[in-house]
């Protein structure tokens, strides 16, 4: 009897150990495939739309204030915004279908512009007028289901989304009837933003590097994060029936498309080397430009689209206007930083079925004005606005955080210049998209409107 018990007991112990070992192996080799969500390109088609609540559900039930803020931000318009729609459907998709090297962008653009559509494998998504769920763009559920990112550097939508009843936020606990809540330290980190605001082209070139620029700048060392400027904190509620907090993160996301954010970014001052001049005499003006506002370079993000330029003009006592051209400094690639009458963007002809496309005007600004930009070049060495077709970069002549650039303008006072006070004004202008490209592709005018960044003037007395 005791011997039978020992035999049976030994068998049961062996059986338990065998089962335990099998289960352990299952957790080692199988369960992680279920629990660890895919990231980047590998996440395409791994989820469905029903895994994610709509922003209307979040906004009209509990988070009305943040929902209204989000509706006015580019986060809600990342897919439906007119230029993004034109760029994707008129240029990116047809280009991707013709060139295997850039084929990935047909799906990949949506990893940041329509993430839930990307996760659902809805590629290319229906056009915005179809009013599909792709139109939700970067919605509440996108950000509040992200638990981390894959790899060492955040870029190219390598975030990890874990949808479900748990929504991730900045607080330890929440009391919500709609869902569970958990604190996410990642949500408050610049790396969170970097998963979409850093991007490499199919050629391995950094075509967006906003978070990396921040990381290399002075604000990172001081602990000032992306969220501190683009999601400022205020006293208020995070949900309609919730507690009042002194540090409720606002969902403003104001940036490159917000004139109020762009205005005043650069401080501007102009001064002459002499205060009185005779007709025919030479006056040298110096303009100091100080980036006192951004934690990254200005401009940043879609640098291939953006154009920031310094325009200086003088007006004499009779009201005659004189345009002053910037003095050349002689650095490599400087020709791309001065307004010129040249053509560029010939690679748009690939998508547009125009094999001999000559391009459009590169700048669309007064010839001789200083441009603060970094040119992107296609595989043939031509300047491009198609970030996916960027094979190399030119000189980076943007203004870094807390950097001051000095530009000089040498002016030979015309012999017929009217005596009296001459007013010389320096203006820094910004466009989200270079106007010749906008006009050629029929992009609404608001995308190429001139946004004033700053201006300053000085005077010189022209002697009789």
What is the per-residue pLDDT across 313-326, written as a single tens digit (0 to 9) for each? Answer: 999 999 999 999 99
| Ranges 178-182, 207-211, 424-428, 433-437: which has the least confidence | 178-182
Of the candidates 226, 400, 231, which has an alpha carbon nearest to the alpha carbon of residue 299?
400
In CATH, what number does 260-462 get?
2.60.40.3880
Percent of the chain with pLDDT over 90: 89
Residue 377 and residue 395 in contact, taking contact as beta carbons nearer than 8 Å: no
What's the pLDDT tens digit per position in 135-179? 999 999 999 999 999 999 999 999 999 999 999 999 987 778 889
Q: Is the pLDDT of residue 26 over 90?
A: no
Residue 298 and residue 308 in contact, taking contact as beta carbons nearer than 8 Å: yes
What's the pLDDT tens digit per position in 364-418? 999 999 999 999 999 999 999 999 999 999 999 999 999 999 999 999 999 999 9
Vertex 157 angle, CA 26 and 431, to 5°: 175
Q: Tell me which H or E stretch contains 437.
A: helix 435-440
DSSP annotation of 39 reads B
H helices present in 147-293, as ranges: 190-197, 210-216, 218-221, 226-230, 259-262
How many other C-beta atoms can be found within 10 angstroms of the C-beta atom of residue 28?
9
Burial (0-12, 13-18, 19+ Cβ within 10 Å), 366: middle
Distance CA(58)–CA(52), nearest Å, equals 11
The pTM (predicted TM-score) of the whole model is 0.91
Structure confidence at residue 36 (pLDDT): 54
Domain spans of the chain? Answer: 2-33, 40-249, 260-462
What size, in residues, is the chain? 464
């Amino acid at each position: 009897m005791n011997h039978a018990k020992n035999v049976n007991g030994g068998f049961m112990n062996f059986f338990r150990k065998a089962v335990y070992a099998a289960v352990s192996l299952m957790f080692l080799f199988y369960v992680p495939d279920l629990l660890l969500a895919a990231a980047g390109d590998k996440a395409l088609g791994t989820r469905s739309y029903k895994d994610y609540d709509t922003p209307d559900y979040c906004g009209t039930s509990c988070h009305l204030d943040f929902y209204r803020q989000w509706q006015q931000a580019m986060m809600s318009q990342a897919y439906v915004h007119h230029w993004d729609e034109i760029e994707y459907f008129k240029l990116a998709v047809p280009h991707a279908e013709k060139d295997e090297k850039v084929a990935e962008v047909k799906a990949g653009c949506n990893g940041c512009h329509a993430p839930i559509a990307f996760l659902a494998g809805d590629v290319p998504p229906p056009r915005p007028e179809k009013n599909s769920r792709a139109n939700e763009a970067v919605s509440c559920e996108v950000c509040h289901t992200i638990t981390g990112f894959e790899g060492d550097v955040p870029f190219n939508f390598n975030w990890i989304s874990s949808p479900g009843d748990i929504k991730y936020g900045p607080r330890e606990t929440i009391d919500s009837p709609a869902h569970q809540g958990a604190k996410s330290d990642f949500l408050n980190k610049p790396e969170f933003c970097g998963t979409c605001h850093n991007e490499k082209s199919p050629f391995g070139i950094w075509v967006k590097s906003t978070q990396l620029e921040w990381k290399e700048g002075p604000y990172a060392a001081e602990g000032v994060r992306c969220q501190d400027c683009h999601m400022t904190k205020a006293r208020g509620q995070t949900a309609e029936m919730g507690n009042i907090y002194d540090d409720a993160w606002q969902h403003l996301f104001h940036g490159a498309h917000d004139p109020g954010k762009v205005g005043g970014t650069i401080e501007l001052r102009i001064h002459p080397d002499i205060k009185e001049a005779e007709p025919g005499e030479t006056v040298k003006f110096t303009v100091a430009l100080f980036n006192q506002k951004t934690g990254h370079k200005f401009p940043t993000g879609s640098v291939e689209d953006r154009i920031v330029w310094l325009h200086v003009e003088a007006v004499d006592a009779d009201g005659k206007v004189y345009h002053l051209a910037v003095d050349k400094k002689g650095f490599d690639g400087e020709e791309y930083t001065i307004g010129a009458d040249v053509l560029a963007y010939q690679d748009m002809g690939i998508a547009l079925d125009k094999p001999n496309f000559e391009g459009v005007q590169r700048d669309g600004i007064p010839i001789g004005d200083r441009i603060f930009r970094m040119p992107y070049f296609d595989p043939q060495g031509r300047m491009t606005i198609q970030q996916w077709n960027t094979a190399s970069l030119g000189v980076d002549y943007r203004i870094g955080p807390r950097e001051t650039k000095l530009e000089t303008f040498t002016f030979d006072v015309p012999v017929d210049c009217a005596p009296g006070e001459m007013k010389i004004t320096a203006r820094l202008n910004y466009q989200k998209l270079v106007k010749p490209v906008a006009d050629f592709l029929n992009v609404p005018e608001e995308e190429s409107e001139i946004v004033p960044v700053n201006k300053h003037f000085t005077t010189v007395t022209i002697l009789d």
